[in-house]
């Protein structure tokens, strides 16, 4: 036979190679105390799933290919033709062995009523070829061929009936009338009686061809997929709602002064990025003036220093004083030489000017950039838990792709972010007071 590759005791399915003479088969040893008649007929061992699929002439060679190989499929045959047919995936009806190597399994018949080529098929792969990508497929598995043929025939009769109805409507000569719409309800027994392996069932309603009911198996080395347990299927999962690049950085700030207005006052600064965030700040206020207003403006400054200068930022604070100083009042003060309407020097000018300098630097650094989309430019304009300055109008510093938006939130109103920032500020003030008291007692 030309076209079969040969090795000692091995015949490949490569059509460009040639066979070798079959070696005598070595049957397994008989059990103790039992005499078996030696079978002198040659055997062909077909390995369909193994280390190296092919036809082997000895049991030992076949054993080398399947031993230790997960879910190996092999069988002996009296002729080369039957062995090659088994490897090619044809069914061995005499012994109940199908192409997947399932021994003793009854024949299954698949009726495809609606698909590319309606008919009766004997393999699930053949069914998939007809229904995959087909709109509204209908198929069902049966134990007998007659039942499968009847299923397909009933579908054909149903379609013929609908076809004649459509033809009669069209032949009535009523062009202004709408044609009757035919709705074929899906078969409720769509996948009834079909035992699918993990990852092989049709993905009805699945997104992106991903079956959410299966997962990787880490315990069974023989299989790579398994069905999820009930607990795994009901587990809550989280996903990103929108691209992170469009989301501004939200920062809560607050200041606190223990015994505010008195000589022994001690102030603290609180900046809250999020739970467990390493950028969170809780520290005492520096300098001799330990007022609540200086602590609130300092918290805004520390927030700006901690975040990137090329990202949009939303600063949420319960201090209208800090918002107005940094976004409104500073323009008149600076034009008047940092003198207020009463002709006095502006309080906390040193801190306010540092905040303004930081904001102006952000604008200069991002002048070459442009707002990438209207979505980014309008991102987070409507705060659900706060009110923007000027009744929602765009603030002075909200220009450009790295703009800063100030949002006022009501203090002590159970806002989680505001309460967290207040706690950080209070802890910073208490820590500073403890250090001063310890230094005085030293």
Which of 36-40, 157-161, 304-308 has the highest mean predicted lDDT (pLDDT)? 304-308
pLDDT of residue 231: 82
**Span of 13-17, 26-30, 424-428, 430-434 with lowest mean pLDDT:** 13-17
pLDDT of residue 274: 94
The pLDDT of residue 94 is above 90: no
- Provide CATH 3.40.970.10 ranges for the chain: 6-27+41-87, 106-161
Pick the CATH number of 106-161 from 1.10.287.610, 2.60.40.420, 3.30.470.20, 3.40.970.10: 3.40.970.10
CA distances (Å), origin 266, targets 253, 300, 430: 18, 18, 8
The pLDDT of residue 127 is above 90: no
Distance CA 227, CA 215 (A): 6
Average pLDDT over residues 23-47: 59
Beta pairing, strands 313-317 & 404-408 = parallel
CATH topology of domain 248-441: Nucleotidyltransferase; domain 5 (3.30.420)
pLDDT of residue 221: 55
- Which CATH architecture does the domain made up of 6-27+41-87 adopt? 3-Layer(aba) Sandwich (3.40)
pLDDT tens digit string along 333-387? 999 999 998 999 999 999 999 999 999 999 899 888 765 544 444 444 444 444 3
pLDDT band at 245 (very low <50, low <70, confident <90, very high): low
Q: Cβ(244)–Cβ(223) under 8 Å? A: no
CA distances (Å), origin 105, targets 97, 100, 111: 7, 10, 19
Tell me if residue 173 falls in helix, strand or coil: coil
Distance CA 144, CA 151 (A): 11
Please tell me which residue, 255 or 133, carries the higher pLDDT value: 255
Please tell me which residue, 318 or 144, carries the higher pLDDT value: 318
Average pLDDT over residues 118-123: 87
pLDDT of residue 198: 56
pLDDT of residue 154: 83
Please choose, from the candidates 440, 218, 207, 407, the residue with its C-alpha nearest in 3D space to the C-alpha of residue 314. Answer: 407
Supply 290's token pair: 């330990």
Please tell me which residue, 384 or 258, carries the higher pLDDT value: 258
The pLDDT of residue 122 is above 70: yes
The pLDDT of residue 84 is above 70: yes
**Span of 83-92, 296-305, 388-397 with lowest mean pLDDT:** 388-397
Q: What pTM value is reported for the model?
A: 0.46
Give me the DSSP letters along 22-84.
PPPP-PPPPPTT-------S--EEEEEESSS-EEESSHHHHHHHHTT-TT-EEEEESSHHHHH
The pLDDT of residue 203 is above 60: no
Tell me if residue 210 falls in helix, strand or coil: strand
Distance CA 368, CA 311 (A): 14
Distance CA 227, CA 213 (A): 6
pLDDT of residue 13: 45
pLDDT band at 20 (very low <50, low <70, confident <90, very high): very low
pLDDT band at 159 (very low <50, low <70, confident <90, very high): very low
Tracing tokens 């993905």 back to the chain, one arrives at 203
Please give the mean pLDDT across all residues of the chain.
Answer: 75
């Amino acid at each position: 036979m030309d076209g079969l590759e040969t090795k000692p005791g091995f015949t490949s399915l490569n059509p460009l190679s040639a066979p070798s003479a079959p070696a005598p088969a070595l049957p397994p040893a008989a059990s103790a105390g039992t005499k078996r008649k030696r079978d002198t007929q040659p055997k062909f061992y077909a390995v369909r799933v193994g280390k190296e699929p092919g036809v082997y002439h000895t049991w030992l060679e076949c054993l080398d290919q399947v031993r230790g190989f997960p879910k190996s499929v092999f069988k002996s045959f009296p002729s080369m033709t039957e062995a090659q047919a088994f490897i090619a995936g044809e069914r061995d009806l005499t012994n109940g062995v199908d192409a997947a190597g399932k021994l003793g399994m009854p024949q299954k018949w698949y009726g495809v009523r609606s698909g590319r080529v309606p008919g009766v098929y004997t393999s699930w792969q053949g069914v998939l070829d007809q229904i995959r990508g087909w709109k509204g497929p209908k198929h069902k598995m049966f134990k007998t061929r007659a039942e499968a043929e009847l299923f397909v025939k009933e579908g054909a009769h149903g379609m013929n009936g609908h076809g004649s109805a459509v033809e009669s409507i069209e032949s009535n000569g009523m062009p202004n009338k709408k044609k009757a719409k035919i709705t074929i309800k899906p078969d409720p027994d769509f996948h009834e009686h079909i035992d699918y392996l993990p990852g092989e069932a049709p993905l009805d309603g699945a997104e992106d061809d991903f079956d959410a009911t299966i997962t990787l198996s880490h315990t069974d080395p023989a299989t790579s997929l398994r069905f999820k347990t009930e607990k795994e299927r009901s587990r809550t999962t989280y996903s990103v709602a929108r691209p992170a690049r469009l989301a501004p950085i939200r920062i809560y700030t607050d200041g606190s002064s223990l015994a505010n207005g008195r000589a022994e006052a001690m102030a603290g600064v609180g900046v809250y990025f999020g739970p467990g965030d390493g950028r969170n700040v809780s520290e005492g206020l520096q300098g001799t003036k330990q007022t609540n207003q200086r602590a609130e403006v300092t918290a805004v400054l520390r927030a700006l220093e901690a975040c990137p200068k090329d990202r949009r930022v939303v600063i949420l604070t319960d201090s209208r004083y800090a918002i107005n100083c940094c976004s409104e009042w500073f323009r008149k003060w600076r034009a008047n030489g940092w003198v207020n309407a009463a002709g006095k020097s502006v309080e906390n000018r040193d801190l306010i000017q540092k905040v303004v300098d930081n904001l102006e630097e952000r604008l200069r650094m991002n002048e070459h950039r442009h707002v990438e989309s209207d979505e980014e430019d309008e991102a987070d304009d409507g705060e659900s838990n706060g009110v923007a300055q000027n009744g929602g109008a765009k603030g002075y510093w909200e220009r450009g792709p790295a703009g800063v938006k100030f949002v006022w939130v009501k203090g002590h109103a159970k806002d989680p972010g505001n309460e967290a920032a207040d706690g950080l500020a209070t802890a910073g003030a208490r820590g500073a007071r403890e250090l001063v008291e310890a230094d005085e007692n030293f």
